[in-house]
C-alpha cells in the first residue's frame, strides 16, 4: 500500500504541475475526478485488468469510456491502464486534492466530538483552529460518544486529543 501511495503521489504531482501551468486547477480536478470515477468502477477495473484481453484492446476500451474527457486526463488514464495501475486512480485524486489545499493554504481537519455539534459550534471550532494554525481550516465534524467529552482533532498525521476519555486514562495511569 505504501508503494501505491508513493505512486499516486507522483502521478498527482505531475498532473497538478500541468494544471498549474495551464492555470485551471479546478477544471483539471474535475477531469481527474471523472477518470477516478470511471476507473474506480469495480466492473470497469476488472475488465481493464483482464489478462485475456490484449493491452491495446484494454486501452481502447478505457479511452472509449472517457470519451469527452480532456487530453491530459485521457493520457493519465492511458498510462494507468498500460502500467496496470488502474486501482490507484482514486488515490491520485486524493493526493491531487491535498496538493490543491496546500497550494491554496487550506488545511483540512477531521474533528470528533462527544455530542452532535450544531452549526455555531462547528464555526467556533473552525475559527479557533484557523486562528491557532494561521490558515484557513475546513472541518468535517463527527460524533463519537465514546470520547465522553471534549474534542479529538486530526490534521494530516497530527492528532490533538483533548477528550475526557484520554484525560481519565492519563489520570488512571498517574494514580497506578
Give the other-Cβ count within 10 Å of 69's Cβ.
Answer: 19
Of 176 and 2, the one with more pLDDT: 176
Question: What is the CATH architecture of 106-175?
Answer: 3-Layer(aba) Sandwich (3.40)
Dist CA 105 CA 103 (whole Å): 6
Dihedral of the alpha carbons of 36, 154, 107, 18, in degrees to the nearest 10: -30
The grid coordinates listed for 107 are 488545511
29-52: average pLDDT: 92
Dihedral of the alpha carbons of 90, 91, 94, 95, in degrees to the nearest 10: -140
What lies within 8 Å, CB to CB, of 25 at 6+ separation is 16, 19, 100, 103
**Would you say the CATH fold of 106-175 matches that of 2-101?**
no
The per-residue pLDDT for range 96-129, each reduced to its tens digit, is 998 998 888 888 899 999 999 999 999 999 999 9
Q: What is the pLDDT of residue 169?
A: 92
Domain ranges of the chain: 2-101, 106-175
Q: What is the pLDDT of residue 2?
A: 56
Q: What is the pTM of this model?
A: 0.72
Distances, alpha carbon 115 to alpha carbons 122, 151, 161, 162, 163, in Å: 12, 10, 16, 14, 12
Give the other-Cβ count within 10 Å of 107's Cβ.
Answer: 17
Phi, psi of 67 (to 5 degrees): -60, 130
2-101: CATH number? 1.10.520.20
Helix (H/G/I), strand (E/B), else coil: 130: helix
Answer yes or no: are the C-beta atoms of 88 and 80 closer than 8 Å: yes
- Percentage of the residues of the chain whose pLDDT score is greater than 90: 77
40-46: average pLDDT: 91
Dist CA 101 CA 99 (whole Å): 5
CA geometry: angle 63, 66, 69, nearest 5 deg: 115
Amino acid at each position: 500500500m505504501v508503494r501505491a501511495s508513493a505512486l499516486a503521489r507522483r502521478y498527482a504531482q505531475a498532473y497538478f504541475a500541468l494544471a498549474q501551468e495551464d492555470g485551471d486547477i479546478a477544471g483539471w480536478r474535475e477531469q481527474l475526478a471523472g477518470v477516478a470515477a470511471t476507473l474506480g468502477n469495480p466492473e470497469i477495473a476488472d475488465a481493464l485488468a483482464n489478462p485475456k484481453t490484449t493491452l491495446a484492446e484494454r486501452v481502447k476500451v478505457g479511452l472509449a469510456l472517457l470519451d469527452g474527457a480532456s487530453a491530459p486526463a485521457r493520457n493519465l488514464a492511458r498510462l494507468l491502464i498500460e502500467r496496470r495501475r488502474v486501482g490507484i486512480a482514486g488515490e491520485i485524486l486524493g493526493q491531487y486534492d491535498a496538493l490543491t489545499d496546500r497550494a491554496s493554504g487550506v488545511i483540512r481537519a477531521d474533528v470528533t466530538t462527544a455530542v452532535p455539534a450544531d452549526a455555531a459550534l462547528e464555526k467556533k471550532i473552525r475559527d479557533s483552529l484557523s486562528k491557532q494554525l494561521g490558515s484557513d481550516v475546513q472541518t468535517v465534524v463527527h460524533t463519537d460518544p465514546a470520547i465522553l467529552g471534549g474534542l479529538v482533532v486530526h490534521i494530516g498525521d497530527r492528532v490533538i486529543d483533548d477528550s475526557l476519555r484520554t484525560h481519565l486514562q492519563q489520570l488512571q495511569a498517574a494514580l497506578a
